[in-house]
Chain A
Amino acid sequence: MSTYTETQLDALRELANIGSGQAAAALSTMLGHPVDISVPTAAAMELADAVAVAGEADASCHGILVPIVGDFEAAVVLLVPDDDAQQLCDVYGLDPHSEDGASFLQEIGNILGTSYINVLAEMCGMDMEPAPPQVVYDMLGAILASVLLARDETADMALVLDSALTVEGRPCSLSFLLIPAGGGVHELLGRIGVA
């Protein structure tokens, strides 16, 4: 069972802040609109609580999974409510439920996930590679529980780094979660000197 000190959670929050800042800049270039990020939260929670704080378990949303492989195994998950996905897709005149809309959301996942992970990899000197993103439209609880369980079958606690991105001029926001698998986090904390 993994627990983290306040110092470690602060360090993870700072990493998330830098990573999501880079991701927001990349999304802003893609959409041609300024993108704001919230101050990220970092918390270690029981799996059931991690799902509960993300939102209503049966709320339908678009889930974009970007698996991270290499020295550091993790998942980047974007949760986008349907109205917000509609706003994003409107930029290019797409329907989020069409094939083109899904591939546009996949591309957003790709850009956000890649820029976030590249920053982490550079700062920690670890090898991290994003795998091709997958997009589903489903119940929030089902998406998140499936991702959390697939990461680490032995963990009782999940570490979730959460940032919210807001696109200016388009009333839309999305949650951006980084969910590391078990041992990788301690390796990462060691590299930045807060093991």
Chain B
Amino acid sequence: MPPELPARMGEWVIGTEPGTVLCCIGLGSCIGLALIDRRTRMAGLAHVMLPEAPASTGTRPSQPDKFADHAVPNLIAAMIERGSARHRLEAVLVGGAQMFRSEPSRPGLSSRDIGARNEAAVREQLGKARIPVRAAATGGGKGRSMRVHVPAGEVVYKEAAGLPITLLEADADTLRMAA
């Protein structure tokens, strides 16, 4: 078994060492965002919990990377610092499920479907950074786990008691462009 590098809730990880497997285990309403750079053979994986940090406090949130509006730019910046480039990054999204029917909403909350809001927030951040989403397995009502294989950039996910499904083939684009 190759060494697994888990992205825990509200954290991100970057893998450059060949044979490393980045993973998010048990994604429900959370989003696992994989960023792949095929040139430098680097991959990043963020485990995003919520759409955006509360604006009112004014102070830096204590765990900023649990929010899409911090985690996505922070992961991009960290990958660039390690030698990647924004224009080479490709994204894959997994998660954002609604496992339980939403309950009567409390005042001040637009929607209880955190999964859908998480996906929208992550896509918005990727749009701002002009990073294309190559594949996604999002929404629905089932939890998922995902794994990102370094260096090939293969992204695989599975649902509870399900079989692994490949979302992004190893070096898919590179092969297609060479052909």
- Is A166 interfacial (CB-CB < 8 Å)? no
The minimal Cβ–Cβ distance linking A148 to chain B, given in whole angstroms, is: 9
Let me know if A58 and B26 touch, CB within 8 A. yes
- Is A99 interfacial (CB-CB < 8 Å)? no
The minimal Cβ–Cβ distance linking A81 to chain B, given in whole angstroms, is: 13
- Is A65 interfacial (CB-CB < 8 Å)? yes
Let me know if A140 and B26 touch, CB within 8 A. yes
- Is B62 interfacial (CB-CB < 8 Å)? yes
Number of B interface residues in the complex (CB < 8 A): 36
Residues of chain B in range 11-54 having any CB-CB distance to chain A below 8 Å: 11, 25-30, 49-50, 54
Known: A69-B104, A153-B114. A143 touches B99 (CB 8 A): yes
Known: A134-B100, A139-B143. A145 touches B62 (CB 8 A): no
- Is B168 interfacial (CB-CB < 8 Å)? no
Let me know if A67 and B103 touch, CB within 8 A. yes
- Is B97 interfacial (CB-CB < 8 Å)? yes
Let me know if A48 and B28 touch, CB within 8 A. no
With a cutoff of 8 Å between Cβ atoms, the chain B residues found around residue A134 in the complex are 100-101
Which A residues form the contact surface with B (CB < 8 A)? 1, 46-48, 51-52, 57-58, 60, 63, 65, 67, 69, 73, 131, 134, 136-147, 149-150, 153-154, 156
